[in-house]
Amino acid sequence: MRVQLSINGEKHEADVEPRLLLVHLIRDVLRLTGTHIGCDTTHCGACTVLLEGRPVKSCTMFAVQANGKSLMTVEGLEQDGKLHPLQEGFMAEHGLQCGYCTPGMLMTGYAFLGKHPTPTEDEIRVAISGNLCRCTGYVNIVKAVQHAAATLREGAAR
């Protein structure tokens, strides 16, 4: 089947098997390898991307289901060589160790902050609860999201 979609603002077309998972289209066909494959069962969230602005786990969605739609992957966070405040927050607050969950955490956090500019710690924890991290204990990930929220608010106030 032929699929056409926009990823990070760029149009893409590919011929795919109907059973090809979205994560494999993104990584193997289109070579956007920032999206990670973790569990293949939607439990870990490493494969989270935004579909029409909504976080989805791309390991259990078929590529053909994204036909005609807009996606954002972790590669889309950086704009004009400048890191997104969420990426900066992960660096500043040591929100990653091995980094495997990071793309999914970033995409989930990005979508969350778009709707919740002044989140509480509990709200952040609930928002990222579908993403597993085996290294950090989540404390610094929560701090990283708080850091990004503050930076985004400062930018909006200017």
Dump pLDDT digits (tens) for 43-91: 999 999 999 999 999 999 999 999 999 999 999 999 999 999 999 999 9
pLDDT at 139 over 70: yes
pLDDT value of position 64:
98
- pTM for the whole thing? 0.94
Each residue of 99-122: b (16+ CB within 10 Å) or e? ebbbbbbbbbbbbbbeeeeebeee
Q: Compute the CA torsion angle 18, 19, 23, 24 (nearest 10 deg).
A: -90
Strands 48-51 and 10-15: unpaired
pLDDT of residue 10: 97
The larger pLDDT score, comparing residue 40 to residue 111, is at: 111
For the chain, give the percent of residues with pLDDT over 90: 88
Length of the chain: 158
Given a cut of 80, whether residue 157 has pLDDT beyond it is no
- Domains of the chain (ranges; CATH) run 2-76 (3.10.20.30), 85-157 (1.10.150.120)
Ranges assigned E (strand) in the chain? 2-7, 10-15, 48-51, 54-57, 70-72
> 145 is written with which tokens?
């999201």
Say what angle helices 139-157 and 85-92 make with each other, to 10 degrees: 140
pLDDT score of 158: 63
Q: In the predicted model, what is the mean pLDDT of the chain?
A: 95
Question: Which amino acid appears at position 38 of this protein?
Answer: G
pLDDT of residue 86: 97
